[in-house]
Amino acid sequence: MVNKVTVLGSLNVDTILKIKRLPQPGETMAMEAKKNAGGGKGSNQAVAASRLGAQTSFIGKVGNDENGRFMQEILTTAQVDTQYVSVSEDKATGQAFILLQASGENSIIIDGGSNQAITTDDIYQAQTKIEAADFLVTQFETPLESATLAFEIAKKAGVTTILNPAPAQEAPQTLLANVDLIAPNETEAEILTGIKVVDAQSQHQAAKKLQAKGVKNVIITLGSRGAYYLTADQKEGLVPAFKVQAVDTTAAGDTFLGALSSQLKPDFSNIEEAILFANQASALAVQKLGAVPSIPTFAEVSAQLNQ
């Protein structure tokens, strides 16, 4: 069965600046290269879900500018339904400026632009699309009020909700109460729970604290260590990451989320297999430069898993 995934999220044009390392305060440094690419956590996750086998739709907003048309084209090329991607006349399309170090690590500065102009009216207009989905996915690069309403609509319709709490911030209880799966990384888990995730005990404690906030299922992504999960029925485990040489980690987490939503069953019965698939997709993504350009296809992930 093909999963139907609707993503509410951000659309950004990424400007990638390749540098050897981060400059020190007051230091001037020459960059090694500059590149523009499609990005935004929402866009990345939607493209990943679509390329990896899901029937995918997007709810978002772009500016009336070249960047907006560029992002619309990226989604369309990836076979993502853009019926509910609207155009803001007074806000420019979102942008992200990525400082990419030689190590593959990155630092990102975001101008939200039209992403922050998504309103509850936009959510109501897309209500039928939300209700028809198997999964609704969102992040924190769009207004919380809109995300909260979208999740309320989804839960009333029996749609499984996935929250990627990034960029990290406190989440309102009204939103968390309607989250079936939350998927933070270690930093985001610490901000949400106050628990520093460093080992098996702390990752379990952080996940339990998130469940105490009303979230049913938890996945904490651990970078090169893999991903830890704790389900509503208290099944837990760690799925190791694949060892690769990272070139650019920009879309690693987004590729993981998109891949996961493309394979996960709404009852979470195959959560370990879905995480393994998502880990492999993420491992392929970090070996290429850019966000959207690095996201692999279903065939590429399957070929690696079947080796």
The answer to whether 64 is a known ligand-binding residue is no
Asked about 254 being catalytic, the answer comes back as: yes
If phi > 0 it is left, if psi is from -120 to 50 it is alpha, else beta; for residue 125 that is alpha
The answer to whether 43 is a known ligand-binding residue is yes
The answer to whether 51 is a known ligand-binding residue is no
The answer to whether 65 is a known ligand-binding residue is no
The answer to whether 297 is a known ligand-binding residue is no
The answer to whether 111 is a known ligand-binding residue is no
The answer to whether 137 is a known ligand-binding residue is no
The answer to whether 265 is a known ligand-binding residue is no
The answer to whether 224 is a known ligand-binding residue is yes
Burial of 28 (0-12, 13-18, 19+ CB in 10 A): exposed
The answer to whether 270 is a known ligand-binding residue is no
Backbone phi, psi, residue 149, to 5°: -65, -45
The bridge status of strand 12-18 relative to strand 33-39 is antiparallel
Task: Write the CA distances from 108 to 50, 59, 95, integer angstroms.
Answer: 25, 23, 10
The answer to whether 142 is a known ligand-binding residue is no
The answer to whether 226 is a known ligand-binding residue is yes
The answer to whether 185 is a known ligand-binding residue is yes
Which candidate, 296, 278, 291, places its Cα nearest to that of 100? 291
Among candidate residues 81, 90, 254, 267, the one labeled active-site is 254
Q: Residues within the annotated binding site for ATP?
A: 185, 221-226, 253-254, 279
Tell me which residues are annotated as active site: 254
Q: Which residues are annotated binding-site positions for substrate?
A: 12-14, 40-44, 141, 254
Residues annotated in the binding site for K(+), as ranges? 248, 250, 285, 288, 290, 294
Annotated binding-site positions:
12-14, 40-44, 141, 185, 221-226, 248, 250, 253-254, 279, 285, 288, 290, 294
